[in-house]
């Protein structure tokens, strides 16, 4: 098994070997544990002129942390650290967040059908947030033409990951926003849309919601947005479109 080398000032003879060329002592440590993943980005080469397609896969390894990240009642999330293979999206050592939809319960039904459901829901999550991101890019471009409009929300991308050794193989991965997400626009259980406050970020999110609804002739409504600062995630939509 390969071992990682870490220089020590002093250590016991049983745990060290001496580099005769420089006199340094080294302690042998096992490599970090983790899981192999396949990560696939969703690409919109022509913006919203196409429906998006899956880009080239990246094959790498991540280490998940024990601490769970709050992601609302719909998703279970945890932080992870990239080890290798995910550059340039996630450099080695960078933290990210892995999310799985909470409505998938394994161990109670046919495993094959649950994996299919896991795949379908995860694909849908990626399509919703990444297509909303493309709308947000257009909104930001139009907002720049408005004098003194100021900052605009940015929806971060979601990446599809496949974890062959995990009993819930499909999940999404995204950048770690560095703090707990704050709800800006949400849908209540009765279907009512609610803005959480009157801050500039909340009002800009509401403006974006209205813009998407008008831009799509009433076919798409962004219903939920939350995030840290101006960076948004956990996006949900309502739509009249099929497919």
Query: Any idea how long the chain is?
Result: 243
3-state percent breakdown (helix, strand, coil) of the chain, nearest 5: 25, 35, 40
pLDDT at position 48 is: 72
Strand partners, 58: 39
Q: Is 175 a residue whose pLDDT tops 90? A: yes
| Residue 30 token pair | 């096992």
| Coil, strand or helix at 23 | coil
pLDDT at position 113 is: 85
Strand intervals (E) in the chain: 4-8, 16-18, 25-29, 35-40, 42-43, 53-54, 58-69, 75-84, 95-101, 154-155, 159-162, 170-175, 182-187, 193-195, 220-228, 231-239
Mean pLDDT of 16-25: 48
Q: Is 14 a residue whose pLDDT tops 70? A: no
pLDDT at position 192 is: 87
> Using CA atoms, how far apart are residues 71 and 79, in angstroms rounded to an integer?
11
> Using CA atoms, how far apart are residues 107 and 113, in angstroms rounded to an integer?
11
Contact between residue 136 and residue 208 where contact means Cβ atoms under 8 Å apart? yes
Name residue, tokens 């909303």: 132
CA 96, 161, 137, 207 torsion-angle sign: negative
Say if strands 53-54 and 95-101 run parallel, antiparallel, or are unpaired: unpaired
Name residue, tokens 């947005």: 225
> Using CA atoms, how far apart are residues 172 and 228, in angstroms rounded to an integer?
18
Contact between residue 206 and residue 185 where contact means Cβ atoms under 8 Å apart? yes
Q: Is 5 a residue whose pLDDT tops 70? A: no
pLDDT tens digits for 192-236?
A: 899 999 999 999 999 999 999 999 999 999 999 999 999 999 999
Query: If we measure between CA atoms, which residue out of 137, 170, 233, 166 comes closest to residue 40?
Result: 170
> Using CA atoms, how far apart are residues 80 and 58, in angstroms rounded to an integer?
16
Phi–psi pair at 136, nearest 5 degrees: -65, -35
């Amino acid at each position: 098994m390969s071992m990682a080398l870490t220089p020590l000032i002093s250590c016991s003879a049983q745990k060290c070997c001496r580099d005769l060329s420089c006199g340094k002592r080294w302690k042998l440590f096992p490599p970090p544990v983790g899981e192999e993943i396949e990560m696939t980005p969703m690409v919109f080469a022509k913006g919203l002129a196409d429906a998006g397609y899956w880009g080239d896969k990246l094959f790498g390894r991540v280490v998940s942390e024990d601490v769970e990240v709050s992601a609302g009642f719909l998703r279970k999330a945890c932080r992870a650290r990239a080890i290798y293979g995910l550059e340039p999206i996630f450099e080695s050592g960078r933290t990210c967040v892995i999310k799985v939809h909470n409505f998938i319960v394994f161990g109670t039904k046919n495993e094959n059908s649950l994996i299919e459901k896991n795949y379908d829901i995860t694909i849908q999550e990626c399509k919703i947030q990444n297509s909303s991101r493309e709308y947000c890019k257009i909104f930001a471009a139009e907002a720049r033409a408005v004098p003194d409009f100021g900052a605009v929300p940015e929806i971060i991308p979601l990446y599809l990951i496949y974890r062959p050794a995990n009993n819930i193989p499909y999940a999404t991965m995204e950048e770690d926003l560095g703090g707990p997400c704050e709800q800006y626009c949400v849908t209540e259980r009765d279907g009512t849309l609610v803005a959480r406050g009157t801050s500039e970020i909340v009002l800009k999110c509401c403006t974006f919601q209205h813009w998407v609804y008008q831009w799509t002739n009433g076919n798409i409504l962004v219903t939920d947005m939350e995030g840290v600062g101006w960076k948004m995630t956990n996006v949900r939509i309502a739509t009249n479109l099929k497919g």
